[in-house]
Amino acid sequence: MARMDFSSRDIIEYAAQGGQPDALFELGLIYCTGREGHVDLVEAHKWFNLAAVRGNEEAKRYRNELSSELSKADIARAQKMAREWMRSLH
């Protein structure tokens, strides 16, 4: 099966269109690995959280692993960012 590489901008646009769990999970991977420049664990947590809420089981695992590496303040910030993103869809 061929794998297509997308930029984070492509994935964000796709994810925003319908909140697709796999696209949201992919964004989490981009930010936790620094695939497109820099690692941002708070941003990664946000995207994994959004994917997990939509049923992506792997995202739940990644979110939980990241939570052990982040401060409570960082987790709260990631959760706030996720809520804001969800509100922006409506």
Cβ contact 63:54 at 8 Å: no
d(CA 78, CA 45): 6
Rounded to whole angstroms, the Cα distance separating 88 from 33 reads 26
Structure confidence by residue, pLDDT tens digits, 33-56: 998 788 999 999 999 999 999 999
Query: Is the whole-model pTM more than 0.85?
Result: no
Tell me: the pLDDT tens digits for 15-28?
A: 656 678 888 998 89
